[in-house]
Chain A
């Protein structure tokens, strides 16, 4: 049996997971997300990555970005390397794609703040 803490929401349920044959038995979850989390966590753990990219603008040297889905836990540092290789030389809106298919995960890195607004505020 494996013990896990669910990270889907701030409650953080303590989960117990057991596999009999092909069937997972998950206990301790207060909602259905917990069950799926436990199975994913034990078979293919994934996380969102939130970071920043460099810009050429002195007043706004960094723009926050995120993956628009979860990437394999093992790929996080590879994703970070690609994020850190970017220097934005033009304004973007919130939600705009900054890196397409980052590290071949099928996931995009998108802006989480509006660079037009940030530059205007300065």
Chain B
């Protein structure tokens, strides 16, 4: 059985960054990837806009991935491709993984620390309530993206898109460029889920209508989609009688949300946050099981890959620190008001670690204008900033420096209040 200091599960942007950080800390590191190429979902994200934060350039997904893949290759980090992890368990102070691939069949490997970088999955047609028949022609946006960008197949000619998530918007443009007709994007919520820039450059540029507070209520067709029924929804997201309309189409693309993939975390009994659907972690991104770290979209769904890479680096550095000195823990909760915040990551602060640089990510529950967000430890204010606008689709990142006397073992509170004076500066 081979033994590594750190095994990284997943070779997408989070896993690549995590492996690089662990390796740069002198760790004997292995990446396990179930596909035949590194890069994760970036392989099929051929549009540009990646890397603005990190590289100050607008890169495409494959270009962004390539920068990390080249570094992984330059450092001779071990990589197992086409390999699927089927079992993970504790083994003494470390972990034992059982995996399967074509070359070696079933084999076991040991690691002192694990980094989960397994990404997220798309919500499917079965997870959103659509009535009617089950014809061909219903795709998740990511599947459609895979078909168009990697395989070179157009999934349909007359498409409707349900959900205004970024991948749905990107696919509306992509399908249009390749000659399909996109009849409209339907969003049950009253505000779009995707970034404003994508509404502009993917929909407005191509005159694709966006219908808010509208959903698909039925799908028609036996072998192939023939039409959908759409309806306006009320504030409780329930269809309003009498607003139904039939739209003829041959394809339905779903962009209705992403869910962190955490089957392996669950195998290890790791505590999962009901709001993020990812593991509960401290600022080192260590989960409730000591020695297991989580990063990227398996921790929480990010909207920028730059932050995915950043979280991978934190997890990689922390895993190395854990292997070297075993990171003792005294956890303090970060408390949020669920009325105001969708979630905050990390959920705890380890006040014992030398890592006093904490990066917090949060999302507001609703669109809120002119808010002041404050982070307190007891009576001490750790952070306070005015936000002109907070939108749930746009993740906010807060770097904090924890100074020794500022932090007590009392819970840390993060709150938001409306700012009275208008026209605030940032």
Q: Residues of A with Cβ closer than 8 Å to B? A: 5-12, 14, 30, 47-52, 54, 61-62, 64, 66, 73, 76-77, 80, 84, 94, 112-114, 118, 121-122
Q: Can you report 16 A-B residue pairs in the complex whose CB atoms are below 8 A from each other?
A: A5-B200, A10-B52, A10-B197, A10-B304, A12-B197, A47-B201, A47-B205, A49-B177, A50-B46, A50-B47, A61-B152, A62-B150, A76-B177, A80-B178, A94-B66, A113-B66
Q: Contact: B48 with A50, CB < 8 Å?
A: yes
Q: Contact: A64 with B46, CB < 8 Å?
A: yes
B52: contacting residue among A9, A61, A113, A121, CB under 8 A = A9
Chain A: minimal CB distance from B206 (Å) = 9
List of B residues within 8 angstroms of A48 by Cβ: 48, 58
Q: Which of A12, A77, A118 has the most CB of B within 10 A?
A: A12
Indicate if B199 sits at the interface (CB-CB under 8 A).
Answer: yes
CA A20 – CA B24 in complex, angstroms?
56
Q: Contact: B197 with A64, CB < 8 Å?
A: no
CA A62 – CA B81 in complex, angstroms?
21
A113: contacting residue among B62, B81, B196, CB under 8 A = B62
Q: Contact: B60 with A112, CB < 8 Å?
A: yes
List of A residues within 8 angstroms of B177 by Cβ: 49, 51, 76-77, 80
Q: Contact: A121 with B36, CB < 8 Å?
A: yes
Chain A: minimal CB distance from B205 (Å) = 7
Indicate if B340 sits at the interface (CB-CB under 8 A).
Answer: no
List of B residues within 8 angstroms of A51 by Cβ: 46, 177-178
Chain B: minimal CB distance from A81 (Å) = 10
CA A9 – CA B205 in complex, angstroms?
17
Q: Which of B187-239 contact A (CB under 8 A)?
A: 195-197, 199-201, 205
Chain B: minimal CB distance from A99 (Å) = 15
List of A residues within 8 angstroms of B66 by Cβ: 94, 113-114
6 more A-B residue pairs beyond the given contacts A7-B197, A12-B197, A47-B205, with a C-beta to C-beta distance below 8 A: A5-B197, A66-B46, A80-B178, A94-B63, A94-B66, A112-B60
List of A residues within 8 angstroms of B178 by Cβ: 51, 80, 84
Indicate if B374 sits at the interface (CB-CB under 8 A).
Answer: no
With contacts A10-B52, A112-B46 taken as known, whether A122 is within 8 angstroms of B36 at the C-beta atoms is: yes
CA A9 – CA B58 in complex, angstroms?
9
Q: Which of B163-202 contact A (CB under 8 A)?
A: 177-178, 195-197, 199-201
List of B residues within 8 angstroms of A52 by Cβ: 46, 148-149, 152
With contacts A7-B197, A51-B46 taken as known, whether A30 is within 8 angstroms of B151 at the C-beta atoms is: no
Q: Contact: A118 with B37, CB < 8 Å?
A: yes
Chain B: minimal CB distance from A120 (Å) = 10
Indicate if B413 sits at the interface (CB-CB under 8 A).
Answer: no
Q: Contact: B48 with A61, CB < 8 Å?
A: no
Chain A: minimal CB distance from B311 (Å) = 17
CA A84 – CA B177 in complex, angstroms?
10
List of B residues within 8 angstroms of A6 by Cβ: 197
Chain A: minimal CB distance from B420 (Å) = 22
List of A residues within 8 angstroms of B426 by Cβ: 30
B151: contacting residue among A62, A84, A112, CB under 8 A = A62
CA A73 – CA B201 in complex, angstroms?
10
List of A residues within 8 angstroms of B48 by Cβ: 48, 50, 66
With contacts A80-B177, A94-B66 taken as known, whether A7 is within 8 angstroms of B52 at the C-beta atoms is: no
